[in-house]
């Protein structure tokens, strides 16, 4: 399944310029991915990506279903 398309510029602006978050949002705008896939796609380690995904999920920026993360509309 694929995540929904979103307006990336407004989401990135809302993040206050966090480059890791903007990379994650950009990659998730095209498709839902699991933590390992996101880490590989943005060339980052799984621990860092996992921590960032948790904070983004708590803030409501993204959502997780069935082990895959989606950009929240």
- DSSP secondary structure of 14-63: HTTS-HHHHHHHHHHTT--B-HHHHHHHTT--HHHHHHHHHHHHHTTSEE
By the 8 A CB rule, do 27 and 38 touch? yes
Query: Could you give the CA distance from residue 35 to residue 17 in angstroms, rounded to a whole number?
Result: 21
pLDDT mean values, one per 10 residues, the chain (73 residues): 49 62 94 96 96 95 92 71
Q: What's the whole-model pTM score? A: 0.73
């Amino acid at each position: 399944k694929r995540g929904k398309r979103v307006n990336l510029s407004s989401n990135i602006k809302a993040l206050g310029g966090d480059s890791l978050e903007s990379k994650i949002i950009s990659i998730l705008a095209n498709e839902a991915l699991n933590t390992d896939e996101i880490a590989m796609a943005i060339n980052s380690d799984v621990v860092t990506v996992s921590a960032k995904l948790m904070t983004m999920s708590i803030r409501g920026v993204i959502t997780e279903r069935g082990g895959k993360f989606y950009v929240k509309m």
